[in-house]
């Protein structure tokens, strides 16, 4: 497999993508589908427009896209969602943990309660999903997990203590899991996006945005497709010898 | 067809990773200047067949990285074609294993000449062409030895580390011309270069340390080079991607 067969890099693979309603998750779901993957498209809330869109997309391309709803803040919902995926008895080739939240506040303005809440959404829930799904992958003796970290998790970012700490924790988990799960033929990698054009970065203070752009080589925000393409690379066999890595998709900030 | 219609220069194409890069690039629609040190009939026949099969053009260019005049002559033949150059993969290089105290200064200079200065000379020429056409992607093949440091590989690792530093600086300097620069750090890859330069014990030990417990295949490095050369990585620059099975 080298991409020469019409760019269908995920032909016949089954992928779970979380956070599919918009932003990076949405772009990833669409790109994966166009590359031949069947998808469990996980979102927080049921949404009619979303369901109509994925029905059309799935018809147009000829892949299955199944919506799965759960709120990352609710463990019971999360488990129920994962159980419906497991109940399908399908092989799970790829898990992309996109869903998450951002939080902007200085360290001394961040309550411990808020800190724990952000960790619940941006770290523990991802770990819980990963634990559940990699059990299935280990049985299959194959799999591929991709976590969305952030350059904030590598460089730090003033005003993002909770968010950046979660994203750093995800990197630690990624590297450890790459080592623990390699015997089961499961690869685990992360990407670290920089400033990407999404709703999530729209409330980034202008000062922080200017500071990041001044450090950036490419001097523009990335678009969600540019992140989705890197996820496609990591999800596909193009990266079959890449594991435990964090790939910065940041236009050259670091 | 991730590189359809793009024109690429790849060095070190006679075997190993370079040969595989030419194959993957050609199958993905790129026209290629395949740079090698020596002309051989077998190689020309192979490139010719690959070009026909993939419906692209592959032009062999011969120069020895140890000889600046040859490099300049080689690049002149590329420039004379008046084609746009979209991609440069600096893959050619030599390996060298010796303990630091056993590495002579003349050897140091010789290895840096081939693994670093030659790449710089070639890159300088090619960048001029890329700046004119306002776009390009440079992929340097470094090594995990450059990042980790390995006993017996101070010289090789240093020459590959220099390449990483240049990659990062070029990413900054050239972004305004829409040129991206990235590097790959392969781990232990199943090539003649590794087989001839590392003892079985060292190879086995490295494999044992890796998550995947196997050597990489040249195609696995070539696929990452394709990713970095293609528009799939349009927001990635100044990065080093380890392709090492998790060392």
Would the CB atoms of A218 and B235 count as touching at under 8 Å?
yes
Picking from B216, B218, B241, B219, the residue whose alpha carbon sits closest to that of residue B228 is B241
pLDDT at A184 over 60: yes
| Cβ A127 vs Cβ A173: under 8 Å | yes
Residue A7: which pLDDT band, with cuts at 50, 70 and 90? low
Assembly ipTM: 0.91
pLDDT of residue B223: 98
pLDDT confidence tier of residue A155, bands split at 50, 70 and 90: very high
- Identify all chain A residues contacting B242, using CB atoms and an 8 Å cutoff: 242, 245
Residue B218 Cα to chain centre, angstroms: 12
Closest-CA distance of chain A to residue B193, Å: 18
pLDDT digits (tens, 9 = 90+) for A34-65: 999 999 999 999 999 999 999 999 999 999 99
Instruction: pLDDT tens for chain B, 247 residues: list them.
Output: 999 999 999 999 999 999 999 999 999 999 999 999 999 999 999 999 999 999 999 999 999 999 999 999 999 999 999 999 999 999 999 999 999 999 999 999 999 999 999 999 999 999 999 999 999 999 999 999 999 999 999 999 999 999 999 999 999 999 999 999 999 999 999 998 888 888 899 899 999 999 999 999 999 999 999 999 999 999 999 999 999 999 9
* Contact (CB, 8 A) for A31 and A16: no
**pLDDT at residue A6, rounded to an integer:** 56
- Got the DSSP string for A23-52? HHHHHHHHHHHHTT-EEEEEESS--HHHHH
Q: Which of B34, B31, B27 is nearest to B12 (CA)?
A: B34
Active-site annotation holds for B156: yes
CB pair distance less than 8 Å for B227 and A238: yes
Segment A112-137 shows an average pLDDT of 96
- Chosen for mutation from B1, B29, B236 (greatest number of chain A CBs closer than 10 Å) is B236
Q: Determine the residue among B28, B181, B211, B217 to mutate to test chain A binding: the one whose Cβ has the most chain A Cβ atoms within 10 Å.
A: B211
Nearest to residue A70, comparing CAs of A100, A46, A38, A97?
Answer: A46
- Segment 102-161 of chain B within 8 Å of chain A by CB: none
Q: Is B220 on the interface with A (CB under 8 A)?
A: yes
What pLDDT was estimated at residue A1? 42
Which range, of A98-102, A183-187, B161-165, averages the lowest pLDDT?
Answer: A98-102
Mean pLDDT for the stretch of residues A140-144? 98
Task: Note whether A7 contacts B2, CB cutoff 8 Å.
Answer: yes
Q: Does the pLDDT of residue A3 top 60, yes or no?
A: no
Write out the residues of chain A at the interface with chain B, using a CB-CB cutoff of 8 A. Answer: 2-4, 6-7, 178-179, 182-183, 194, 217-219, 222-223, 226-227, 229-230, 232-233, 237-245, 247-252, 254
Q: Radius of gyration over alpha carbons of chain B, in Å?
A: 17
Tell me what percent of chain B is helix, strand and coil, each rounded to the nearest 5.
55, 15, 30
Let me know how long chain A is: 254
Q: Chain A contacts of B232, Cβ < 8 Å?
A: 229-230, 232-233
pLDDT over 70 at A237, yes or no: yes
A165-181, pLDDT tens digit by residue? 999 999 999 999 999 99
Nearest alpha-carbon partner for A97 in A207, A151, A174, A172: A174
Which residues of chain B lie closer than 8 angstroms to A31, CB-CB? none
Nearest CA in chain A to B28: A4
User: Averaged over A188-214, what is the pLDDT?
Assistant: 90
């Amino acid at each position: 497999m080298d991409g020469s067969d019409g760019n269908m890099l995920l032909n016949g693979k089954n992928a779970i993508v979380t956070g599919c309603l918009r932003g990076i998750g949405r772009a990833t779901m669409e790109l994966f589908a166009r590359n031949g993957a069947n998808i469990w498209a996980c979102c927080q809330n049921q949404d009619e427009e979303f369901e109509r869109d994925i029905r059309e997309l799935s018809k147009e391309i000829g892949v299955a896209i199944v919506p799965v709803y759960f709120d990352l803040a609710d463990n019971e919902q999360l488990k129920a969602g994962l159980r419906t995926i497991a109940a399908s008895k399908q092989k799970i080739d790829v898990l992309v943990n996109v869903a998450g939240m951002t939080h902007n506040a200085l360290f001394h303005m961040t309550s411990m309660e808020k800190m724990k809440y952000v960790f619940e959404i941006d770290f523990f829930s991802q770990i819980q999903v990963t634990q559940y799904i990699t059990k299935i992958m280990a049985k299959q003796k194959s799999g591929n997990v991709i976590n969305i970290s952030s350059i904030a998790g590598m460089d730090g970012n003033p005003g993002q203590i909770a968010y950046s700490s979660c994203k750093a924790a995800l990197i630690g988990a990624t590297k450890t899991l790459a080592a623990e799960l390699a015997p089961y033929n499961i690869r685990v990698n992360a990407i670290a996006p920089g400033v990407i054009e999404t709703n999530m970065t729209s409330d980034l203070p202008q000062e922080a945005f200017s500071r990041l752009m001044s450090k950036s080589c490419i001097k523009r925000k990335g678009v969600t497709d540019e992140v989705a393409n890197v996820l496609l690379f990591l999800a596909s066999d193009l990266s079959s010898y890449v594991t435990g890595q964090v790939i910065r998709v940041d236009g050259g900030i670091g | 067809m991730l590189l359809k219609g793009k024109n690429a220069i790849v060095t070190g194409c006679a075997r190993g990773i370079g040969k595989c890069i030419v194959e993957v690039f050609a199958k993905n629609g790129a026209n290629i200047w395949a740079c090698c040190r020596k002309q051989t009939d077998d190689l020309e026949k192979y490139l010719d067949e690959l070009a026909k099969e993939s419906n692209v053009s592959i032009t062999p260019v011969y120069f020895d990285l140890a000889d600046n005049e040859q490099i300049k002559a080689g690049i002149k033949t590329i420039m004379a074609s008046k084609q746009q150059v979209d991609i440069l993969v600096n893959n050619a290089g030599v390996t060298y294993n010796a303990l630091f105290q056993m590495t002579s200064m003349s050897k140091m200079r010789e290895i840096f000449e081939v693994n670093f200065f030659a790449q710089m000379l070639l890159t300088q020429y090619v960048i001029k062409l890329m700046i004119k056409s306002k776009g390009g992607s440079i992929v340097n093949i470094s090594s995990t030895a450059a990042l980790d440091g390995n006993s017996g590989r101070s010289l090789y690792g240093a020459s590959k580390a220099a390449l990483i530093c240049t990659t990062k600086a070029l990413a900054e300097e050239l972004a305004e011309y829409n040129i991206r620069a990235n590097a790959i750090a392969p781990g232990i890859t199943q090539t003649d270069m590794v087989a001839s330069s590392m003892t079985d014990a060292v190879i086995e030990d490295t494999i044992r340390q890796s998550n995947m417990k196997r050597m990489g295949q040249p195609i696995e490095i070539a696929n990452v080079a394709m990713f970095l050369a293609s528009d799939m990585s349009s927001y990635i620059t100044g990065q080093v991607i380890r392709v090492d099975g998790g060392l």
